[in-house]
A and B are shown apart, each in its own frame.
Chain A
């Protein structure tokens, strides 16, 4: 805690309070006010999160900015917050994405504006809560709460099939996390009445309970990531979600699953993790290769990017289960970078969708003739999505592939196929949408991006290039934590 100031609480509750405020003042007569207050809230949310980076001691592996107050004395539940090198970058990513989403929805959303912005602000706070919670009850509360705003966002501002998608999203992820609750209650019992996540890390467990706990957590996290074969909710959710929803879903919500593996599965059940690592790696590689092929055949741009997300997140889970620094740090970098790139890709599709109201690749062609600036941005993000060196998309994939070669050549072999598939599906889509002669009357009418859109894409472009050319600061903050985690994983709990 910096000067005894509860920064983490502010980071969590400030956006939520702003969100509630926006809901209260909001009706559609005060659109301008609602917009500016939302922007103010989300920007402040980012600014108050900055001390988490500047005040972060990257030599420490323990929790920092810790806050601990008793919540339910009867059950030993604490309001316990803290961050380390794994959660801090994710919180910053989330706080950065929120204002971008507000700007992205600025003029696009026309009805129930206050509810729309309110939902995003509240979700931003809740997600920060997930990353910062060190108490299992607090964590679980935030975790499940994060479903509600997204459920509403898809269900209300979504496309024609939004109800199916929203319910599928909700049930899939809810069912996944129910077993996690059981696992947490079991751990409460085993630890003789503690909900402290950090105490679970030190809890000795036999092999069978470890495996059961691992599997219970796996279901919750695998659905979120999503891993093959529990990924099918994601393309539907993305296709129906409004642009902002897709951005947050891809950039932030998927990371909850990845974070869960690092905070729960690996440290609580290290022996089970080692025992099941091979299976996890195989599932991850299936995601990379199989989903890469499926992405190739998509006719809908959003579906294509959604599948590409699944494929890229395969690198995250692959990296975790290599049990070396390259793998875990690479996976972390991949999560952050994927946040920028997938966010940018969905924004790009959103730019086109706002103009022509179609996501079908076949409805476009020759867009570059009318939107050259947009085409240049889209090219940069497409290349980043294809993992071109110099963009952040390369760093994580490179690190994970390097980590896999050390473990098993064939892991690296299949993982590196993303070089080919990633380029194939992304650039083939790019070619059909952007290049060529103007395909039809609608494309003929297109206007190039506005200042607002240009601002968004420029910010993301800077982030993508910055972390591609100089990823050092990003990895530096996680070294100590990851080293500590790896050391922890080497010690058997049996």
Chain B
């Protein structure tokens, strides 16, 4: 099996190398054939492993090679193949394969065609290494590698000023998260003496009694500090408030990567990481509480912004932020399996929404403003219906995948006794309404109503080619059905030991007690608030954007400051730009111009040189070369010495 495990990440890596280094020799067609074939191989391999792990229960934890040895500690590259990682492997490979196929259509004729395939295969490799890791170091490797590929892909169209601004911003904001993440890893190594998951988790309970003083006099629980620092990393990668600012801008990248990286896989790395670290997080009430509150804030406030966006991709981007908030809330409520479940359903329906949006964007000749769309349904039926399914899933309509995962999260937030749980419950509940509203606002503005595009664009409107529609259809299937496995995935023994929760955290037990099968869950939902909120949201969207279309602009003018606040995304970008970008640059300038140039170089270095020069210029006076000068100096000297001698005696 070990060869098969290796094949999973190495196949896409090989594809990336072939397309990247030899792309110009083998041409566009062979580049996509090779990379797609290799990702397909990787998918098949992960399905075989999936079967082996879930059915036969063969869990693997072993080393591939030793990276470094320091004293007693070995740093290794190795795999942990358990239900959690194998689930992620299948999701990553499935979405990646679909995005590879879709890219053939989307990137057709782009001069960077081979480079693009190389990048997305490289991304697949990095993401697989991240989820398959059995230690913190390799996790960090994958973590940074996906960040790198994200950077390269956001700036894929490198001549666009907005794209190269956005990719730098994304990388730096992620680095802020990694800063915390690395310190967390450092504390793990310092106190556990290893970075191996198995050993660290086995000693977690023992280390829970340990406390450290980061600030003298303040004693904190070691695990709390570690978990909070690790979570800072998760906040960066999974774009949680206040490190969410990079994700909306990342939409400057080509749409396939928005679907693959900035919706379905990479941004969920933080969620995956916290679930993986559940044996640590469970032991720290403070950490869980922080997680749930951050998740709540992100869920609600990012959803509100989505309502006022007019760029179709940005609506989906803010929706992603909000959905990531849902997952984080689930993590904070100790419902890790539900978080992973939502991660999965979200990967499918969000990928469909993004790829559908991309299909619309191609048809509209790269127009992304929904105010210039409308009535596209009749031109693009496949895109419309697949997106419609995804929209229903996103809004949480019973029967569709998003409903099961989201409803479970709301219930989890209701049952949890973690401080901050009440706040999070309020957020996730309210957001159901907002989600339905912005999703159907998008659907209606894009596909229904008046055709607001110009004449030229309308003439060329047509459904996208099969390479675009097939991935949409393939991904639409799990968008409908994947929710129904909630019983076995979340409440069964599916995850086994790969996810851990304390018996005091009763959320999952309560949910399980209430759970009466997927169908029962649907029936039960009809009488609860989330269902009516979601229906209400859809209705309001229909009323405002299809029926009384003049109302939105009235609301907009009436709610001036609030609208502006949402439209400007709470002015967080402006605030960061002022504090961090301008602040850092000013500080750098001061340190350089004053510290280095004026003080060290000007005063001390050149100053001492000048001092020597100044002294020398006086001493030089005595070195004139005229004998009578020397004779005169000598006489004066003798005179002074004589006087002193006489005076003293």
Contacts from A to B (Cβ < 8 Å): 168, 171-172, 229, 232-233, 290, 293-298, 325-326, 329, 366, 368-369, 379, 383, 388-390, 394-395, 398-399, 401-402, 404-406, 409-410, 412-413, 416-417, 419-420, 423-424, 427-428, 431, 434-437, 469-472, 475-476, 479
Contact = CB atoms under 8 A, between A and B. Distances in A.
A395 B68 contact: yes
A328 to B, nearest CB: 10
Nearest to A404: B186
A409 B605 CA distance: 35
A379 B152 CA distance: 10
B613 interface: no
B140 interface: yes
Query: Nearest 3 CB-CB pairs, A to B?
Result: A405-B186, A293-B588, A297-B588
A371 B38 CA distance: 30
Interface string B167-211: 010011001101100110111011000000000000000000000
16 contacts: A168-B605, A233-B605, A293-B592, A294-B595, A296-B584, A297-B585, A297-B589, A402-B186, A406-B190, A416-B183, A420-B179, A427-B172, A434-B158, A435-B155, A469-B67, A475-B69
Contact of A475 (B70, B161, B164, B587): B70
B600 interface: yes
B159 to A, nearest CB: 5
Interface stretch (B141-149, B309-317, B382-390): B141-149
Contact of A420 (B141, B175, B186, B601): B175
A476 B74 CA distance: 12
Contact of A405 (B168, B183, B591): B183
Contacts of B604: 229
Given A296-B584, A389-B144, A431-B164, A401 B69 contact: no
Contact of A419 (B67, B178, B214): B178
B168 A428 contact: yes
A389 B164 contact: no
B596 interface: yes
A398 B183 CA distance: 10
B596 A232 contact: yes
A383 B176 CA distance: 16
A401 B186 contact: yes
B55 interface: no
B22 to A, nearest CB: 13
Interface string B243-273: 0000000000000000000000000000000
B164 A436 contact: yes
A419 B179 contact: yes
A232 B588 CA distance: 16
Contacts of B159: 366, 369, 435-437
Given A402-B190, A405-B190, A419-B179, A471 B158 contact: no
Contacts of B182: 398, 401, 416, 419
Contacts of A296: 584-585, 588
B71 interface: yes
Given A424-B172, A435-B158, 6 more contacts: A366-B159, A390-B145, A419-B182, A472-B69, A475-B69, A479-B69
Contacts of B600: 229, 232
B230 to A, nearest CB: 14
Given A290-B595, A297-B588, A431-B164, A471 B67 contact: yes
Nearest to B602: A232
B68 A472 contact: yes
Contact of B176 (A295, A401, A420): A420
A424 B171 CA distance: 9
Contacts of A232: 596, 600-601, 605
Interface of B: 65-71, 140-141, 144-145, 148, 151-152, 155, 158-159, 161, 164, 168, 171-172, 175-176, 178-179, 182-183, 185-187, 189-190, 212, 214, 584-585, 587-589, 591-592, 595-596, 600-601, 604-605, 609
A470 B596 contact: no
A415 to B, nearest CB: 10
Contacts of A366: 159
Nearest to B71: A325
Contacts of B158: 368, 434-436
A424 B175 CA distance: 9
A33 to B, nearest CB: 37
Nearest to B193: A406
> What is the predominant secondary structure among interface residues of chain A facing chain B?
helix
Nearest to B147: A388
Contacts of B605: 168, 172, 232-233
B183 A413 contact: yes
Contacts of A420: 172, 175-176, 179
A476 B190 contact: no
Contacts of A394: 144
Contacts of A389: 140-141, 144-145
A208 B377 CA distance: 86
Nearest to B593: A297
A413 B214 CA distance: 11
Which of A298, A388, A419, A420 has its CB near the most chain B CB atoms (within 10 A)?
A419
A479 B74 CA distance: 13
Contacts of A435: 155, 158-159, 164
Nearest to B592: A294
B312 to A, nearest CB: 26
Contact of B175 (A326, A329, A419, A431): A419
A95 B585 CA distance: 39
A323 B390 CA distance: 57
B168 A431 contact: yes
Nearest to A428: B168
A398 B231 CA distance: 19
Contacts of B190: 402, 405-406
A326 B70 contact: yes
Nearest to B161: A436
A295 B609 CA distance: 26
Given A388-B148, A389-B145, A436-B164, A475 B68 contact: yes
A409 B179 CA distance: 13
A428 B609 CA distance: 36
A399 B69 CA distance: 11
A295 B605 CA distance: 20
Contact of B588 (A294, A417, A427, A472): A294
Given A389-B141, A390-B141, A427-B171, A471 B179 contact: no
A389 B585 CA distance: 27
B70 A325 contact: yes
B175 A423 contact: yes
A133 to B, nearest CB: 29
Contacts of A390: 141, 144-145
B339 to A, nearest CB: 26
Contacts of A428: 168
B591 A293 contact: yes
A290 B591 contact: yes
Contacts of A326: 70-71
A93 B588 CA distance: 33
B162 to A, nearest CB: 11
A388 B145 CA distance: 8
B584 A383 contact: no
A457 to B, nearest CB: 14
Nearest to A229: B600
Nearest to A394: B144
A471 B164 contact: no
Contacts of B592: 293-294, 297-298
Contacts of B155: 435
A410 B213 CA distance: 11
A470 B161 contact: no
A423 B212 CA distance: 30
A172 B141 CA distance: 41
Contacts of A383: 148
Contacts of A470: 65, 67
A413 to B, nearest CB: 6
A157 B588 CA distance: 31
Contacts of A168: 605
